[in-house]
Amino acid sequence: MRIVFAGTPEFSVPCLEACRASGAQVVAVYTQPDRPAGRGRKLTPSPVKEAALAAGIAVEQPRSFKTVATRKQLAAYQPDLMVVVAYGLILSPKVLTIPRLGCWNVHASLLPRWRGAAPIQRAILAGDAETGVDLMQMEAGLDTGPVLLERRTPINRNDTGVCLHDRLSLLGADVLMEAISRIRAGETLHARPQSEEGVLYAHKLQKAEARLDFTRPALALEHQVRAFDPWPVAEGEIAGENLRIWAARAVEQNHKNAAAPGSVIAVHRDGIDIACGEGALRISALQRAGGKRITAADYLNARPELRGAR
């Protein structure tokens, strides 16, 4: 089986390795053009490109497939299958029909819930109890294709965007390995059409979403903090100082008189409790402007006036 792999970020790398380990031949890798990164804004290859070059695989980086020449280049690889994992380009029907078996996509949600760009973070934000990865036969619509295989995983109370990202990346590689092995063994995978009910779109994350509104319930703010680790990182104000909030948990407000949302109502070894519209948010890890991530205890050492908060 000749496979063309299309992917860009770190999430895609385990799936590329699964394609190689499956016994199929990865004849080319498509990835986004090198982008400026770091303080020097130096052109930097994607994680998928680095993995492909290390494995000696040909790399293609077209900005689109709109030209006949780019589609002819893809066809020249004579792919039986194209595997797409967080590639960053929408593929037209003219591209989807080039591989003999079409195109597969590994998507980090339980479709049709959370179609789109940020399914991992949106699932945490919504307080979903479960998520997973779907292997989908691609069609012209955005994440609308029938599902070939699925893996599920619970979303735990301590799951952040980064740890759930890593777990789903490995689950994606696992489901992809199984599918390729079954196809190579002569089996036909039966695609399940997506339900028309329960469709939700996971819109791209925006920096403005990171601001914590303490008039909201504490549990919703906890979800926000967990979902936005490692980007864009939640932000909030504590006693007049704007901070990045890295870790927090919703707790009950155990004080006699109702405090205004955003007020510091308690400080202790476990964190700083902030009154919310419902409950309180206990902040345990944060970051000052220009500083590094620190514990709430270290922060209180720098602001001793807060230690008397009740």
- Which residues belong to the annotated binding site for (6S)-5,6,7,8-tetrahydrofolate? 109-112
Taking alpha carbons only, the member of 84, 101, 19 closest to residue 55 is 19
Task: In whole angstroms, give the CA distance from residue 209 to residue 165.
Answer: 19
Question: Which residues participate in the annotated binding site?
Answer: 109-112
Measuring CA to CA, how many Å separate 145 from each of 81, 106, 112, 124, 193?
A: 16, 11, 9, 24, 7
CA atoms within 13 A on the CB side of 161: 23
Task: In whole angstroms, give the CA distance from residue 33 to residue 93.
Answer: 22
Give the β-pairing of 2-7 and 81-85: parallel
Handedness of CA 233, 207, 172, 50 (dihedral sign): negative
Taking alpha carbons only, the member of 12, 27, 92, 85 closest to residue 60 is 27
Measuring CA to CA, how many Å separate 113 from each of 27, 89, 129, 134, 219?
A: 33, 21, 13, 11, 21
Q: Is the peptide bond before 9 cis (omega within 30 degrees of 0)?
A: no
